[in-house]
């Protein structure tokens, strides 16, 4: 799956229909490919808090994570790349919050 196909004109990356076994890797790869200063809005069916923790641990001070909507059944998070990465990173498949 190409990450550019997931982000539509309004910069929304809708991952609700993507299986959890690949979802985190796609989101991370999309963010890694962003130019500094650019962003996308992640649309998910649950709060991606575990993914935020992963970003914070692996790439501190390189992103912002802004909840636009966080209700049962829908989470929209604006993720912005603030700084270049000091280390290379490969997306790793991971489960989504026990799903």
Locate the domains of the chain by residue range: 3-81
- 3-class secondary-structure state, position 70: strand
Query: What's the whole-number mean pLDDT along residues 51-73?
Result: 95
pLDDT exceeds cutoff 90 at 91:
no
Residue 93 pLDDT: 47
| Distance from C-alpha of 66 to C-alpha of 63, rounded to nearest angstrom | 10
Instruction: Give the architecture (CATH level 2) of 3-81.
Output: 2-Layer Sandwich (3.30)
| Distance from C-alpha of 2 to C-alpha of 5, rounded to nearest angstrom | 5
């Amino acid at each position: 799956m190409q990450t550019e196909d997931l982000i539509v004109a309004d910069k929304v990356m809708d991952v609700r229909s993507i299986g959890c076994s690949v979802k985190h890797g796609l989101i991370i790869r999309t963010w890694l490919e962003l130019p500094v200063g650019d962003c996308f809005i992640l649309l998910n069916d649950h709060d991606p808090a575990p993914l935020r923790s992963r970003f914070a641990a692996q790439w501190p001070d390189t992103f912002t994570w802004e909840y636009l909507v966080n209700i049962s059944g829908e989470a929209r998070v604006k993720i912005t790349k603030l700084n270049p990465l000091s280390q290379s990173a490969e997306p790793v498949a991971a489960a989504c919050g026990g799903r």
